[in-house]
A and B are shown apart, each in its own frame.
Chain A
Amino acid sequence: MTTLKVNGHEHQIDADPDTPLLYVLREDLKLNAAKFGCGLGQCGACTVIVDGNAVLSCVTPLLLVAGKQVTTLEGLGTVTSPAPIQRAFIEEQAAQCGYCISGMIMRAQALLQKNSKPTDEQIRAELEPNLCRCGTHMRILRAVHRAAKLMQTADASTTRAERSVQ
């Protein structure tokens, strides 16, 4: 049994320690926002936040995250009460097929938690490991800028999960 903290809740996970975090999230916890893309840490679709940093959950085995704080897209906000970054992505319509978007949002969220006013260049550099094959990049860039503004006004730089914990 491994203790895993996800979105503010502790879970006892009955899985091999070498199971990728992504599989645990999707199969055991039914948190399906993080996507399986390449399984090799090369596309970013599986990105989640671990202790404040963006992490590729498909190449992160369970044994490396035991005891650490994991945040997934589900931990940011809900359909009725989206987090600022989710609102920004919706308002900019920054998704086409949407497969990459959970990963994009999580990496952007991790960036904004460290740097509340990133430049275009910093956003591009940060999101470089995340691939989008539809080509919504310009909208994603605008969405991250919009999220930065929303967070400044809404004091919402922390995630819903972290707020509920506090």
Chain B
Amino acid sequence: MASSRIIGSAIAAVVIAGAVAAFAVTWRPAIAAIEPPAPQSFDPALVKRGRDLAAMGNCNDCHTARGGKSFAGGVAVPTPFGTIYSSNITPDPDTGLGRWSEQAFRRAMRAGVDREGRHLYPTFPYDHFTNVTDEDDKALYAFLMTRQPVNAPARANQLSFPYDRRLVIAGWKLLFLRHGSWQPDSSQSAEWNRGGYLVEGLAHCGSCHTPRNGLGAEQSGKSFAGGDVENWHAYAINAQSPAPVPWTVDALSVYLRSGAHPDHGVARGPMAEVVSNLSSVPESDVHAIATYMGSVFGAPSPDRLRRGEQALASVKTRASTQASAAPAAGADDAGAAIYAAACASCHDAGRPVPYGGVNLRLSSGISGPDARNATNTILSGLRAVPGERSPIMPPFAASMNDAQLVALLKYLRARFSDQPAWADLEKTVAEARHTQTSALQTSPGPRNAPAEPAQRDKP
């Protein structure tokens, strides 16, 4: 259509014109290259602090490819605008951060600009990292500059026009990048403030758990209302949380540190890496994060509390979940039969998590707004984590066809949640099977250990 093409060109022209104007305002000079500093020049205590901060920032998750060297980048990050590859943040002088001064690193964290002055894509979450203090940036810099340098050139991003122009990022920043978006609240406890600083800054929880707008920015006013990440749904972690039992500060603290909680199940999907990292940082920081998030969740309503208690009570007696019980309304017999035959021996056995399956009445995956997480988990199972005690679930991709999976999901939703049936299950299942097949070959597996176990006790 000619008219739509004209409109398209007009929009592109406006976008580019805006970007040029934005560039004029947001232009940043290059910062001079330095001789790579010797690792010994950094204070070991500072490096150790940087290690813990890097774990809370989950840096390794995006910057370490499966089977690749730590922090050498190259991880494909799918976005609605194309694929962006993470960069090499080892101190390699030619392909990493080796020639970056601390000032250049701090500017990247705060303003999303690389040493040469180029705007970085906001897949690098500087909209959160801008809140990180100078002191913490210094420690992170010390940690990264003392890693093993790896020569690994950046992979070219695959973005469609106009998003492949870095000018566009300048416009994005004018619209969406707010410095100082985190401000401490003196009416709250020191622990709450510490948690808020971490959550809104380095830990960048909102990057996954807040929905994004058409231009990929977190929607203001919808903080923590649930988002999408790598074909998974990141649950709402505010008052809209789908968790059958409302989260408490203590439960969250246990879950974030150990990766599991009896009232909620286990953290898997992209969250597995997060809890794996948090298992290695000071407990006080994890508790601070839980404290702050406790106030984001807010006090549950009496109705929610009551329903949570009901769910817990029914699990305790296992009365309503016995496989022999009559199928729930809205689900067909095939799903009930599959559940009884393939799932109940673990999920209805009463063995505690993480080694027994969570009773699905407690699972956010079943009560959540879409079926992707449950579908992904059934298809791929949960692989054992090398060298760690971890939950295991066998994969069912090879033994269940799409129709059987749809029947099972319908049954699980009807039987174990009080939510309306999921729409478009056939589509969800078909897409999940497609993406799981490719994701299994490329994405890093969950790991309940820090990025570099050898570094755990060392600075």
A residues adjacent to B (C-beta < 8 A) = 17-20, 39-42, 50-51, 53-56, 59-65, 121, 128-129
A107 to B342, CA, bound (A): 20
B399 at the interface (CB under 8 A from A): yes
Provided the pairs A63-B338, A64-B338 are in contact, do residues A40 and B345 lie with their beta carbons within 8 angstroms? Answer: yes
Q: Which residues of B contact A61 (CB under 8 A)?
A: 337-338, 341-342
Interface set, chain B 211-246, CB cutoff 8 A to A: none
Q: Which residues of A contact B345 (CB under 8 A)?
A: 39-40, 59
B392 touches A42 (CB 8 A): yes
B157 at the interface (CB under 8 A from A): no
Q: Which residues of A contact B404 (CB under 8 A)?
A: 64
B340 touches A18 (CB 8 A): yes
B346 at the interface (CB under 8 A from A): yes
B36 at the interface (CB under 8 A from A): no
B430 at the interface (CB under 8 A from A): no
A62 to B67, CA, bound (A): 37
User: How far apart are B408's CB and chain A's nearest CB, in angstroms?
Assistant: 10
B341 touches A63 (CB 8 A): yes
Interface set, chain B 278-328, CB cutoff 8 A to A: none
B342 touches A60 (CB 8 A): yes
B399 touches A55 (CB 8 A): yes
Q: Which residues of B contact A63 (CB under 8 A)?
A: 334, 337-338, 341
Instruction: Choose among B383, B384, B399 the residue with the greatest number of A CB atoms under 10 Å from its CB.
Output: B399
A59 touches B342 (CB 8 A): yes
B383 touches A55 (CB 8 A): no
A136 to B19, CA, bound (A): 62
Q: Which residues of B contact A18 (CB under 8 A)?
A: 337, 340-341
User: How far apart are A107's CB and chain B's nearest CB, in angstroms?
Assistant: 11
User: How far apart are A157's CB and chain B's nearest CB, in angstroms?
Assistant: 19
Given contacts A64-B342, A64-B399, 15 further A-B contacts (CB under 8 A): A17-B337, A18-B340, A19-B341, A40-B346, A42-B392, A50-B398, A51-B398, A53-B398, A54-B398, A55-B399, A56-B394, A56-B399, A60-B342, A63-B341, A64-B400
Q: Which residues of A contact B338 (CB under 8 A)?
A: 61, 63-64
A160 to B404, CA, bound (A): 30
A156 to B404, CA, bound (A): 33
Least CB separation from A52: chain B residue: B398
* B-side interface residues, number (CB < 8 Å): 20
Q: Which residues of A contact B383 (CB under 8 A)?
A: 128-129
B residues adjacent to A (C-beta < 8 A) = 67, 334, 337-338, 340-342, 345-346, 381, 383-384, 392-394, 397-400, 404
7 examples of A-B residue contacts, CB within 8 angstroms: A18-B340, A40-B346, A59-B342, A61-B341, A62-B341, A64-B404, A129-B394
A18 to B393, CA, bound (A): 19
Q: Which residues of B contact A64 (CB under 8 A)?
A: 338, 341-342, 399-400, 404
Q: Which residues of A contact B340 (CB under 8 A)?
A: 18
B392 touches A50 (CB 8 A): no
Provided the pairs A40-B346, A121-B67 are in contact, do residues A55 and B337 lie with their beta carbons within 8 angstroms? Answer: no
A20 to B345, CA, bound (A): 11
Least CB separation from B343: chain A residue: A59
User: How far apart are A21's CB and chain B's nearest CB, in angstroms?
Assistant: 8
B399 touches A50 (CB 8 A): yes
A103 to B341, CA, bound (A): 22
B399 touches A60 (CB 8 A): yes
A40 to B349, CA, bound (A): 11
Least CB separation from A62: chain B residue: B341
User: How far apart are B202's CB and chain A's nearest CB, in angstroms?
Assistant: 32
Least CB separation from A49: chain B residue: B398
Q: Which residues of B contact A40 (CB under 8 A)?
A: 345-346, 394
A151 to B353, CA, bound (A): 43
A128 to B345, CA, bound (A): 23
A99 to B394, CA, bound (A): 20
A-B CB proximity, top 4 nearest: A41-B394, A61-B341, A18-B341, A53-B398
Least CB separation from B357: chain A residue: A40
Least CB separation from B400: chain A residue: A64
A63 to B394, CA, bound (A): 17
A61 to B67, CA, bound (A): 35
Q: Which residues of B contact A121 (CB under 8 A)?
A: 67
A65 touches B337 (CB 8 A): no
Q: Which residues of B contact A129 (CB under 8 A)?
A: 383-384, 394
Q: Which residues of A contact B334 (CB under 8 A)?
A: 63
User: How far apart are B331's CB and chain A's nearest CB, in angstroms?
Assistant: 15
Q: Which residues of B contact A60 (CB under 8 A)?
A: 342, 399
Instruction: Choose among A19, A54, A60, A64 the residue with the greatest number of B CB atoms under 10 Å from its CB.
Output: A64
A128 to B342, CA, bound (A): 21
A127 to B103, CA, bound (A): 47
Provided the pairs A61-B338, A64-B404 are in contact, do residues A42 and B394 lie with their beta carbons within 8 angstroms? Answer: yes
Q: Which residues of B contact A128 (CB under 8 A)?
A: 383-384
Q: Which residues of B contact A56 (CB under 8 A)?
A: 394, 399
Query: Contact partner of A65 among B346, B393, B397, B399, CB < 8 A?
Result: B399
B398 touches A55 (CB 8 A): yes
Least CB separation from B386: chain A residue: A128
Least CB separation from A44: chain B residue: B394
Q: Which residues of A contact B341 (CB under 8 A)?
A: 17-20, 61-64
User: How far apart are B438's CB and chain A's nearest CB, in angstroms?
Assistant: 15
Q: Which residues of A contact B337 (CB under 8 A)?
A: 17-18, 61, 63
A64 to B394, CA, bound (A): 15
Instruction: Choose among B342, B381, B398 the residue with the greatest number of A CB atoms under 10 Å from its CB.
Output: B398
